């Protein structure tokens, strides 16, 4: 996730953000794994974190999972923030996934 974000910022500057994949796929087997990536992106400076889609997220994780995702989006702090920032890889030469207008955007606090 951090390499995609770094690449997007390298290509498009501070206006770029990346989106989160489909619940139940792409490594998101539970709400906690999605929360981890959202918090990582917020720690790295992400402003909006689109999640595809609210309906699928609710179906996969239920109301409690959606609530967990929406309420636990604050950036990491302390040693967790240091570790997240230290894990950022070199920017990629190009973005590999297009953005989609059907994504629901969560704004980290």
pLDDT in tens, 34-79: 998 899 988 988 888 888 888 999 999 999 999 999 898 899 999 9
Give the total number of structural domains in the chain.
1
For the beta carbon of residue 59, count every other beta carbon within 10 angstroms: 13
What is residue 88's predicted lDDT score, i.e. its pLDDT? 60
Domain that holds residue 40: 2-91+98-106
The model's confidence at residue 4, banded by pLDDT at 50, 70 and 90, is confident
The model's confidence at residue 97, banded by pLDDT at 50, 70 and 90, is very low
pLDDT per residue as tens digits for the range 85-94: 777 643 333 3
What is residue 65's predicted lDDT score, i.e. its pLDDT? 94
How close are the terminal C-alpha atoms of the chain, in Å? 19
């Amino acid at each position: 996730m951090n390499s995609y974000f770094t690449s997007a910022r390298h290509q498009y500057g501070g206006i770029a953000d990346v989106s989160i994949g489909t619940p139940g796929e792409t490594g998101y087997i539970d709400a906690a794994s999605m929360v981890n990536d959202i918090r990582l992106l917020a720690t790295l400076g992400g402003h909006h974190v689109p999640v595809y889609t609210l309906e699928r997220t609710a179906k996969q994780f239920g109301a409690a999972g959606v609530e967990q995702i929406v309420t636990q989006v604050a950036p990491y702090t302390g040693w967790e923030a240091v570790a997240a920032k230290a894990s950022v890889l070199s920017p990629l030469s190009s973005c590999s996934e297009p953005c989609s207008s059907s994504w629901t955007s969560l704004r980290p606090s």
